[in-house]
Amino acid sequence: MEQKAFYELVDRVVKHIKEKHAVTHDRWITPAEAQKILNVGRTCLQSLRNEGKIVYSHPMKKIILYDRVSIEKYLRTHTKQTF
């Protein structure tokens, strides 16, 4: 199987699984996506990570991915109720 055909097949399988399980977002997101969701800069994002307030993965030397579920949980726990 050629490489291009292989990756097309993988993409189709991933798409099918996401549709079957109603997945609308990827669980692991880039630092830019995490910053956008939290509305913070790089330094604040790193602080949240270092303080253990959000979950992250460091699969390779220069790649850090953030767990969308932990970010959403962090936002929920810091929500203030209005009067």
The percentage of the chain sitting over the pLDDT mark of 90, rounded to a whole number, equals 53
The model's pTM is 0.68
20 occurs within a structural domain: no
pLDDT score, position 56: 95
5 occurs within a structural domain: no
Strands 63-67, 56-60: pairing kind: antiparallel
Contact in structure between 64 and 31 (CB atoms under 8 Å): yes
Q: How far is CA 28 from the centre of its chain?
A: 3
Residue 51 belongs to domain spanning: 25-83
Per the structure, the count of domains in the chain is: 1
pLDDT score, position 75: 94
Residues in the chain: 83
pLDDT score, position 23: 61
pLDDT tens profile 6-40:
878 877 877 777 677 666 667 889 999 999 999 99
